[in-house]
Each structure stands twice: as C-alpha cells, then as structure tokens.
Amino acid sequence: MITVVAGTRPNFMKVAPVHRALEKRGLQVRLIHTGQHFDAAMSDVFFLDLGLPSPAVRLHAGGGSQATQTAAALVGIEADLLRNRPSLVVVVGDVTSTLAGALAAAKLGVPLAHVESGLRSRDWTMPEEINRVVTDHLADLLLTSSRDALPNLLDEGIPGERIAFVGNVMIDSMHHARRHETGILKRHQLEPGAYAVATLHRPVNVDTAAALGATLDALAAIAARIPLLFPVHPRTLARAADLGLSARLQETPGLQTIDPLGYDDFVTLMAGAKLVATDSGGIQEETTALGIPCLTLRDGTERPVTVTVGTNVITGLDVGRIDHEVKEILAGRGKRGEVPEGWDGNSGERVAEAILTFLSGWPPARTVRR
C-alpha cells in the first residue's frame, strides 16, 4: 500500500495524476487529507474537478500558525501510518502538509518519495523554501519537474541515483481541466484576451499593511490598463480585513474581486486571459504551459525554467516595471516562451514508473521500517 499526503489546493492538482497512474497499475493508494485547506472553495471542489476519490482520512490541521499546523498534521499522519503501515509515503510540493508527511515517514522509518523535488528560491524567509529543503533531505526517492532541479540536489550532497526526472505533474492536471471548459467567462461578462487575472496570497505580499498596500498598488497599475479579475484567497481577504484595507481592495478602479474558484473554472479563466499576475509558483508553470504572459509579483522564483524558457517575467511589486510590462503585452510585444521538457501531460505516468522501480529495490531505501 502507498500513502499519499496532501493538504492544499496545489497539492491536490499534483496528487491527482499520480493517484490515477498508481491505481491504473494495480497499486493500493490511501490518501490522507491534512485539512490545511479545509473550506469547500479551497478543498472539496478540487476533489470533484480533478476526479480524486474521497480521502481515506481527513485531519484537522488548518488554521493557526505554521508550527500549529505542522504539529497537528504530524500527529495525525503519524497515527495513520502506525495503523496502516504503508510500503511508501508520497508527498508533493512544498507546503506545511508536505513537511509534516516527510517528518512522520522519516521518524517511523517508512520510505519517502517527494514529487517536485529540487526547486530552490534561495529565499530563507519563505516557509516553503524550508519545507522543500528539509523534505528533499529526508526523501529516499526525489522526483523532479525540471532539469534545473538536478544540480540543486547534487550540490546539496544528495546521491544522483535517488533522483529521477519525471516532468511536471501540475501540467497533467491542467490538461485534464482544459477538457472541462466552463462558462466562467460568460458568467463574468468577459471576452477572451480582453482581461487579466490576479492571484496573491504569500505572506511577503499580504501579511503587513506596507506589503499589502504595495500589492494593491501593483494591482491598481494593471487594472488601470485592462480589466482585472481577482479571485481572492481567504488568507488575503482576512489580512485585508485585519489591516483595514478591505475597502481599498474592493474599490480599486478596474479591479473586480470574486470568491475563490474551482480548478476547472480557474483554468478556463486563465487560458482566456491576456495576462496573469501572481505570486504562486504553480501558476507561473501553468501560464508557461498555456503560453499566457505571466508577471510574478515577487523578487524571485523557485521555478526559473518559467523565466528562462517560459512566459514568466519577475517584476516584484515595482509599479513602474509592472506598468511597462503590461503596456508591452497589450501592444503585442509580451514575452513569448516555449513549453519546457516533460511538461507534456504524462508526468503522472513517469512518477508511477519511478515508484514501481523503487518498490522493486532501486534505489534501495535508506530507512528501515520499525
């Protein structure tokens, strides 16, 4: 039996193609939902859109600080692993649930596979960077989404035989969603290519009055040139209320805020956009795969292939730079990119094959089951 741990909407997108590919090969798969994202808009609707079965167990690790979430998820995952004793734990991405799953498996001596290994931002103020590095150093099998991950891992002393390039499972789910186009544009009276989309939720952009104010300045610069639709993450909405910026969020000219969307709706919306502005790593990847210009409102990225090969431009919150890039895109001079190697919709299959090879004995597990 294989246990897969997930807890947030980006996790679910990465888990779905892996889950399908493993079950197709006759493997028993048990899904633990940590509850890190626990409301229907951020969780349940994604299971429906992605065709994921209901989790075998739902924990309640959402809310509270990073430490509180990690502790709650760790306790719940450990208890489930003790009861069910899988042959392998699979974690995806870089969120709190990823780290908790990795720690629980390592402490119990259960072999661990990490999907999306080797991404590095070099920014230690990001909780996700800590999660990535620790998880990679606990993993027995490291599955990478882009070729630039390999030198990152080798430089950290991880043996090459433990690393396998599988491509980007996120793109598998995006292709799945593209086959389920929705009426989201009609519902919001949008014309393809005549609007922009924004998503923002990272602490560096929303957790203080100065940061959220600068983020709203950036969004205002975009909305001044093209209608901007903003599905607001619950975290961003809560911070705006706490910081007294809700009115500004709702009243910026040209900016329309809406509730979070299901995955099929969001992919349909993103595919029809003229440009996307985000602080999400996954959306940097999806826009590159779709050929849609992306402005990353951070000072760096752990996904450099989206910049070197894809459609992504790093602008930070520099309003002048953002305005320039938007003008270039609207004039037809926006950045053009290519789809990186392995972002072909078949990564879940390659993950499953790598896992089967591991379960047959190569590379040998570092951990010993207790």
Q: Where are the alpha helices (DSSP H) in 57-126?
A: 66-84, 96-108
Round to whole Å and give the CA distance between 25 and 23: 5
Q: CB-based burial of residue 94 (10 Å sphere; 0-12 exposed, 13-18 middle, 19+ buried)?
A: buried
* Nearest CA among 369, 283, 292, 366 for reference residue 336: 292
Strand ranges, E, within the chain = 2-6, 29-33, 57-58, 88-92, 112-117, 141-144, 163-165, 196-199, 228-231, 255-258, 275-278, 294-296, 312-314
Query: Is there a contact between 46 and 176 (Cβ–Cβ < 8 Å)?
Result: no
Query: Is there a contact between 11 and 93 (Cβ–Cβ < 8 Å)?
Result: yes
Round to whole Å and give the CA distance between 120 and 142: 14
Q: CB-based burial of residue 47 (10 Å sphere; 0-12 exposed, 13-18 middle, 19+ buried)?
A: buried
Q: Where are the alpha helices (DSSP H) in 112-189?
A: 127-138, 149-155, 169-178, 184-187
Cα angle 271, 323, 186 (rounded to 5 degrees) comes to 30
Q: CB-based burial of residue 52 (10 Å sphere; 0-12 exposed, 13-18 middle, 19+ buried)?
A: buried
Sign of the torsion formed by the C-alpha atoms of 207, 211, 213 and 218: negative
Six-digit token pair at 329? Answer: 């895109």
Cα angle 303, 307, 311 (rounded to 5 degrees) comes to 115
Looking at 175, 180, 201, 324, which residue is catalytic? 201
Active site residue 324: no
Phi, psi of 296 (to 5 degrees): -95, 115
Phi, psi of 89 (to 5 degrees): -105, 135
Residues marked as catalytic: 201
